[in-house]
Structure formats: C-alpha cells, structure tokens
A = this chain, B = another copy of it.
Amino acid sequence: LRRKTGNALFLKEYNRRRILSFVREHKSISGIMLSKLSGLAPKSVYEICDGLIQDGYLYEASIGSSGGGRKPVMLSLRPDYYYSIGIDIDVGMVRAVLMDITSTVKFELNERVDGINYEVYLGLMVKLIKTLYKRNKTDASKLLGVGLSVPGLIDIDSKKLIMAPNLKWENKDLINDLKQHLSCNIFVENEAMSSAFCEKWLGECKNDKDFICINIKSGIGAGIYTCGKPYRGARGSAGEIGHIPLSENGPLCGCKNRGCLETLASTNALLTNAKSAFEKEITLDGLIALAQGKNKAAEEIFNNAAQYLGLAISFLVNTYNPSKIILGKDFTKYAKFELDVIIDKVNGTALKHNASAVRIQPSSFGERASVLGAAILPQIQIF
C-alpha cells in the first residue's frame, strides 16, 4: 500500500510540474489546450490547475478567443507571488537579481569588490540578498531560494567549491557559509553552466538539445547541454575548455601547463598582450577603443585571440556536433572584432558536416547571462 501511495504521489507531482511547464512555455493557455498537450483528462487538468491557483503559482488571466460557445479561461503564471534571487560571483564584482516565476527581473544590483577575500564576498552577497528581499516586500515563504553562479569547479556530490582559480579560493562550502546568515534554499552552479541555463530557459537555445555556452572573461569556461540536459561529466568538470592546450611554448597558465586556451584568448590574455604591444597598462575599454579606431596592433591582438578561439571551437564542433555555440560575458563587448575570424577558422578547420550544423553567435544577455541563470536555479525545482 505504501508503495502504491508513493507512486500516486509521484505521478501527481509529475503531472503538476508538467502543467506548470506548459503554462510557462505558452505564457497564456486554456485548460482544454493543457489537456490536449498533457494527454490528461480535462477533469484532472482542472483539479491540478485549481491546486496551482490556490498555491499561488497560476492565475486566471484574460479570456481567450474561442470558435463559438463558452469562451475558455486562460491560465498564466502569477508574477506577484513566488520569486527567486540570483547571485553571480565574478572577480571584482558581485551581481544580484530578483526574478519572479514569469522570468521577469524585478530588481537588480551590481556592486564592485576590491580584492579576492572570501569573507568580503560572503558579506557582500548576504547584504545584496537581504536588500533585494526587503525591496520586494513579499514574505519569506514566497522566496523559492537563492542561486549562486561561481567561476569555479563545484563538486558534483557535496556541492562544495573545489577551486575558483581566478579568485584563488579553494574548498569553500558556500552553501553552508551563507546558511549561517540566511534561512532559505541555496543552490550553486558553475558560472558557464548558469549561462547555459539562461540561454536554454530564456534565450537563443530554447529549442536546441545540444549546445555550448562559452564564457570569456578573466578565464574561459563552457556550459554544455547534451540531449536536452545539462552535461556535467563524471565528476562535475566537463566544459573546462580554458585548459585545452593549444601552444606548447605558450604562456604559463594557472593550471601549471603552458599555452592553455585561457592564456591565449581570455580577456586577461588580451590585456597582457596589449601591455606588451603598447608598453603600458591598457584597460579593456581602452583596447576596444583602439581597435574601433582601426589601430593595427589592437586589431591584431583581437585577431590572434580569435584564431585560437576558432581552433578550440573546432575541437568542440568536431566532438560535440552542437547546433549552437553562444559566446558570452566580456566577449559580447568585443564580439565585432573576433566573431567573423572565429567563424572563418571553424569553417576552415572543423569537419564540413559539423561546421555546417552549428551557429556561432554572441550571447544576447551581455554580461548578465550567468546571474539570470543563477536566479533560474531555484525555479527549476518547481517546473
């Protein structure tokens, strides 16, 4: 009997999630349509929807059109009830958003940080989360949770941060450390995978099953979907493309090897190369301005980085055969100096069949993809 009750509960929960997902996809949908899509009897759909309305997930929205007879009631996700908070930890910056379950960002905060001290970042995260929470004026029971996007390796079982090389953090239990200050569900994810969630949930990859998001900033990492699902590998560290070795005698990398992609094509690599070309420190904005003004040396710096990116992407195109590759973060600021070079390199290097199957494009979310993805993490649990 216990087993049967377990199965029934499981099935009920499964169908609730499916209905909720259909409403999310369609934004506004009738019960009849939900019955058609789900294969459930109209009676069951109405029961589930009543429950979802009572629990604050759905509301009866505008009246839909009908082919005669009674006009159907349309159901939509309720924007003023459940919500989540997303935090993106970056070197020198913490971003935070509060997002309702219709994926609308209601509040957004970015704050600069000096240095890489873990306690300082922790304090700032708590402050930003509490600020957003107060600003929303809704009680704690509506907060589905906080999602964290971290530029590092997360252990697949313990969810602890194994290392974040560019922050020089090692073995940090972010979830536990935040729980000392907050009493809500906390989820943690690698920042490239957070971006992939954002592109799948809100962006260009809604209909792609096999795609790769590459985040290019101080380091380079990839978030990968295979067969419609996030792919993490056996120990949670798939997508470490920043450490693909491309040049045997290249610059020394933080991972102790030479010539990793990161040392050749990250934003840090651009700035290092700019410093040696112009014999002075140059900011990214400065370098972009120079390339904009057709400065040959600046153009060459972007071109070189793009060649290496194109080569690394050719490996991914040959081995993953993705339908899209999205280039995000800092890259979106200088895409116009690199994108065509990358695409040409891939077309010239990858297998024709695979090269012709992939679209390579910058993220439409600028630097925000991973903070939006972080906010999605707690919401995935209800859909």
CA distance A280 to B168 in the complex (A): 56
List the B residue with the shortest CB-CB distance to A312: B315
Neighbouring B residues of A357 by C-beta, 8 Å: 233-235, 237
Neighbouring B residues of A240 by C-beta, 8 Å: 318-319, 321, 351, 354
CB distance from A32 to the nearest CB of B (A): 14
Neighbouring B residues of A238 by C-beta, 8 Å: 210, 319-321
With A162-B353, A245-B349 known to touch, is A319 a contact of B209 (CB < 8 Å)?
no
Neighbouring B residues of A210 by C-beta, 8 Å: 233-234, 238
Copies of this chain per assembly: 2
Of residues 277 to 323 in A, which have CB atoms within 8 Å of B's CB atoms?
A: 311, 314-316, 318-323
Mask: chain A, 342-383; 1 = CB below 8 Å from B; 0 = not? 000000111111100110000000000000000000000000
With A255-B351, A315-B244 known to touch, is A231 a contact of B222 (CB < 8 Å)?
no
List the B residue with the shortest CB-CB distance to A256: B352
The answer, among B222, B226, B323, B352, for a CB contact under 8 Å with A255, is B352
Q: Would you call A200 an interface residue if the criterion is a C-beta within 8 Å of the partner chain's C-beta atoms?
A: no
The answer, among B163, B241, B255, B351, for a CB contact under 8 Å with A319, is B241
Q: Would you call A232 an interface residue if the criterion is a C-beta within 8 Å of the partner chain's C-beta atoms?
A: yes
A233:B350 contact, CB within 8 angstroms: no
The answer, among B39, B226, B311, B349, for a CB contact under 8 Å with A231, is B226
CB distance from A260 to the nearest CB of B (A): 9
CB distance from A308 to the nearest CB of B (A): 12
Q: Would you call A243 an interface residue if the criterion is a C-beta within 8 Å of the partner chain's C-beta atoms?
A: yes
The answer, among B231, B243, B319, for a CB contact under 8 Å with A227, is B231
Neighbouring B residues of A320 by C-beta, 8 Å: 233, 238, 319
Neighbouring B residues of A209 by C-beta, 8 Å: 234
CB distance from A11 to the nearest CB of B (A): 11
Neighbouring B residues of A319 by C-beta, 8 Å: 222, 224, 238-241, 244, 315-316, 319-320
CA distance A43 to B49 in the complex (A): 35
List the B residue with the shortest CB-CB distance to A35: B3
Q: Would you call A257 an interface residue if the criterion is a C-beta within 8 Å of the partner chain's C-beta atoms?
A: yes
Q: Would you call A236 an interface residue if the criterion is a C-beta within 8 Å of the partner chain's C-beta atoms?
A: yes
The residues of A with any CB-CB pair to B shorter than 8 Å are 3, 7, 39, 153, 162-163, 208-210, 222, 224, 226-227, 229, 231-241, 243-245, 255, 257, 311, 314-316, 318-323, 348-354, 357-358
> What would 11 A/B residue contacts be, using CB atoms closer than 8 Å?
A153-B353, A210-B238, A224-B319, A233-B354, A235-B321, A236-B321, A238-B321, A239-B319, A240-B354, A243-B318, A319-B319
Given contacts A210-B233, A233-B354, 10 further A-B contacts (CB under 8 A): A226-B226, A235-B321, A235-B353, A238-B319, A238-B321, A240-B318, A240-B319, A240-B351, A245-B311, A255-B352
